[in-house]
Amino acid sequence: MATRIDASWVLMCRAAELKDKGKAVRTRGRDGQLFASETAMWTTIKAVQIHGGYGYMAEFPVERFMRDAKLAEIGEGTSEMQRMIIAKSLLRDGYLPA
Ligand SMILES: Cc1cc2nc3c(=O)[nH]c(=O)nc-3n(C[C@H](O)[C@H](O)[C@H](O)COP(=O)(O)OP(=O)(O)OC[C@H]3O[C@@H](n4cnc5c(N)ncnc54)[C@H](O)[C@@H]3O)c2cc1C
């Protein structure tokens, strides 16, 4: 879980660095958003499982974290849309290293 969260952070920092330097961000921001939002979902599902029945109950914040993570896969561009846009960019431009 920590490794995927770290990887999300690295992807987001890469996009932010490109933006700060005035370079083309291309799909780097989408890579980061897609990976980070799916990591949030994957991580919080595991967190619910680790907590067992307590993880599922509304009295504990873990299930709310899971619902909140789901929004990241829907709002500001669903994961499906992110994948389509990334794929279109790859098919048009090929893979361009940052
Ligand atoms: C809690 C919450 C807060 C929100 N806040 C805001 C806000 O502040 N501002 C704002 O503008 N919007 C907001 N939204 C709306 C959000 O941006 C949309 O729900 C989101 O863009 C998805 O659009 P949709 O709900 O119309 O789903 P649809 O476009 O109907 O999509 C339904 C499903 O089909 C998939 N899909 C659709 N088309 C394709 C395709 N061509 N290929 C493959 N899969 C496809 C989608 O990925 C999705 O999984 C919010 C939504 C929620 C749940």
Within-domain flag for 98: no
Domain CATH for 49: 1.20.140.10
| Rounded distance from Cα 53 to ligand 1 centre (Å) | 30
How many structural domains is the chain composed of? 1
Position 54 in a domain: yes
CA 54 / ligand 1 centre spacing (Å): 30
In a structure prediction context, what are the per-residue pLDDT tens digits for the chain, which is 98 residues long?
Answer: 999 999 999 999 999 999 999 998 989 999 999 999 999 999 999 999 999 999 999 999 999 999 999 999 999 999 999 999 999 999 999 988 76
| Binding pocket residue ranges, ligand 1, CB within 6 Å | 71, 74-75, 78, 80-81, 84
The pLDDT of residue 96: 80
Q: What would you report as the CA-atom Rg of the chain, rounded to the nearest whole angstrom?
A: 16
User: What's the CA gap between 30 and 28, in Å, rounded?
Assistant: 5
Q: Give the position, in ligand 1's atom list, of the atom nearest the Cα of 80.
A: 47
> What is the SS3 assignment for 89?
helix
Residue 24 lies in a domain: yes
Question: What pTM, to 2 d.p., does this model score?
Answer: 0.91
The answer to whether residue 67 is domain-embedded is yes
Domain of 47, in residue numbers: 2-93
